[in-house]
Structure 1
Amino acid sequence: MAVTLGPEDLTRLMDEVFPQVSKGFVIEEVTRTGVRVRLVTTDEHLRPGGTISGPSMFALADVGVYLAILARLGPVTLAVTTSSSMDFMRKPEAGRDLIADVTLLKLGRILAVGDVLIRSEGREEVVARATMTYSIPPR
C-alpha cells in the first residue's frame, strides 16, 4: 500500500490530536512497509538502575505502530490498540535515545498488526521487541 502521510504530515497530525504525547517522539522515516520513530529520552524516562523504563519503551512501540497505520491510511485517528506483546531483552543505555523500527505485517480493513524492534541509538542490539494489533474504525 502506498504512503499517504509523510513524516511532516504525521508530526502535524500528532501535534493536533495527541499534543500530550507528541512532544517526545520524532518521526525519522516513513517507508512503504513501516516507520522509524525516535523517543527523545530524558530523566523522566529513567527508572532505578540507570535504564529506560518499560512504560517508555511500550509507549514508543505503541506510538510507532499507530504512526505506521496513519502513514498508510491517512488520519484514522480513532484506530486503537487491541492487543500487545512485548519482550524486554536487554538493558537500554541511559543517555541514549531509543529508536523503533516498525514494520506493518498486516493492514486489513478491520485489523492491523505491527512488529517493532527497539534499539538504543547507535547500537545494533535489540533491547525490546513488540507486536501490536490495532482495530481500524469503519471508514
Structure 2
Amino acid sequence: MEKNRAKKMYDYHVWANTQVFQHVKKLPDGVYGDTLKSVFTSIKDVLVHLYATDITWLEIMKGSTIQDTFRKVEQRREEVRGISIKGLESCYDELYKEYDNFFALEPDLERTVVAEHPKMGVCEFVLADLIHHVVNHGTYHRGNVSAMLH
C-alpha cells in the first residue's frame, strides 16, 4: 500500500507517543502513577485513556459492532490495570502492530464505514477522517501529559 496522508499522520502519532514514553520512563519512580490535580488524576490515566480510545477507533474501522468494541476495550483496560510504564508501552507496541496490519489489509482509506452507536445512532465515517481523529485526539492528550509534567 502506498503511504497516504492518513497513514503518514498515524506514523506521526506512533512517533509522538514513543517520545512521551521515552521521557516518562526517565523520570523518577512514581511520577507515572502519582496523583495530580489536573483533567486526569495521573499520567498513567491519560495514557490508558489514549490507549483505550485508539482501540475503540481501530475496532470501528475494522467493522466491529459497538457492543464487541466496548467489550474488547474493557477487556484490554482490565489487562493494563496496575501495569508499569514499560508494560503499557509494550501494550501500545502491540496496538501499533494491529493498526499496521489493518493498514496493510485495507486498500482504500477513503472508504466509508458505518457504525451504530447506542446514543448517537447510525454514524458514517471515512477511514482517513477517523485516522486523523485518532492523531488529533492523541495530540490533545499528549498536551495533557506535558502540562501535568510542568
Q: TM-score range by the shorter chain?
A: 0.3 to 0.5
Bigger RCO (CA 8 Å, 6+ sep): 2
Give the alignment's TM-score, normalised by structure 2: 0.32
The structure whose Rg is larger is 2
More helix by share: 2
